[in-house]
Structure 1
Amino acid sequence: MANKTKKTVRREWTKENIKELKAHSKARTPVAKIAKETKRTVGALRQKALHLGIGLGHQR
């Protein structure tokens, strides 16, 4: 039986993607919802936000 692992798909962050992420940050959209819309993982979104110096989701 063949090992069926999911292949990682890496996509570059375009200027449009970054603009959209900043808009979601400002609107405080939940990270899970952003992940579904952008087809990126929650971890990828959080890492990019950290790199950009913006917050994501709710801040306590």
Structure 2
Amino acid sequence: MALVVFLIVKSVNKISDAAQKLSKKDEQEEAPAPTTKVCPYCKSEIDIEATRCPHCTSQLN
């Protein structure tokens, strides 16, 4: 009885590991969209939707 339970648990673990490897590959292939950009004047990191730099107050395109 213990041998049967051991074999079932071992096979479930193999299937689980394979599924995790596939999901990690999918996550690595899809790069997230950038959420920040660099101010061309002061080189600080700012929000992608900003129209004016909060650090140097310069107008952005």
Indicate the TM-score class for this superposition, using the shorter chain for normalisation.
Answer: under 0.3
Higher strand share: 2
TM (norm. structure 2) is 0.21
Instruction: Provide TM-score, normalisation by structure 1.
Output: 0.22
Q: More helix per residue: 1 or 2?
A: 1
